[in-house]
Amino acid sequence: MASVLPGTTIECSRSGAEDLLGSIFLTGGLVLSQVCQLTGLDQHMVQNWVRRGFCPPPISKKYTKRQFCRIALINLLKDSLRIDHIAALIDAVGGSVDECQLYLAFLKLDTAAEDAPAGSDDVLVKLAAGTLPNLEFKTVQTLVVIYLAAQSSLLRTRAGARLADIV
């Protein structure tokens, strides 16, 4: 079933995300307006994130797949975590996985968690560890934090909609 990929406006099944992202970047990169169209973000916001060091600057005015995935992750989590904390969280995995692998692992975790029994932290850790082979403990923990923050953002949106119905 097709849905919108978290942190983007792209309609795609999560299982097809890797292929879709690969095809989007066949030309070598996206210009800022394309990044904004695919994430729903304002150009000034993305430029501000670059200026503040939360995302690396574009190369020859083009954003790479890694940069796009980083922007999508920041966009996904910006309603539940401070942006400097999001950047530090993404950076915490160091060289063990890049931003694309982290984003795709999050998609796998999110899908697996939907089918799992009520998500205790232990269950989430096991599911996160199974998203990619040989993940370091810190990366598994990072995936759990990303998942929990994304769920928090969804719950906040739902609560806001319910509140609007009441007041």
Q: What is the structure's pLDDT at 157?
A: 86
Percent above pLDDT 90 for the chain:
75
Global pTM reads: 0.92
CA 94 to chain centroid, in Å, comes to 16
Q: Supply the DSSP string of 112-126, one letter for each residue.
A: HHHHSSS--HHHHHH
Residue 29 above 90 pLDDT? yes
Model confidence over 55-110: pLDDT tens digits?
999 999 999 999 999 999 999 999 999 999 999 999 999 778 999 999 999 999 99
Whether residue 115 is predicted with pLDDT greater than 80 in this model: the reply is no
User: In this predicted structure, what is the pLDDT of residue 21?
Assistant: 93
Residue 94 is predicted with a pLDDT of: 79
Q: Which of 1-10, 33-42, 44-53 has the lowest mean pLDDT?
A: 1-10
pLDDT for the residue numbered 28 = 87
Spatial neighbors of 71 by CB under 8 A, at least 6 apart, are 7, 35, 39, 41, 46, 49, 55, 63
Q: How is the chain split into domains, by residue range?
A: 3-166
Q: Say if residue 1's pLDDT is above 60.
A: no
* The two three-digit tokens of residue 39, written as one number: 């994430």
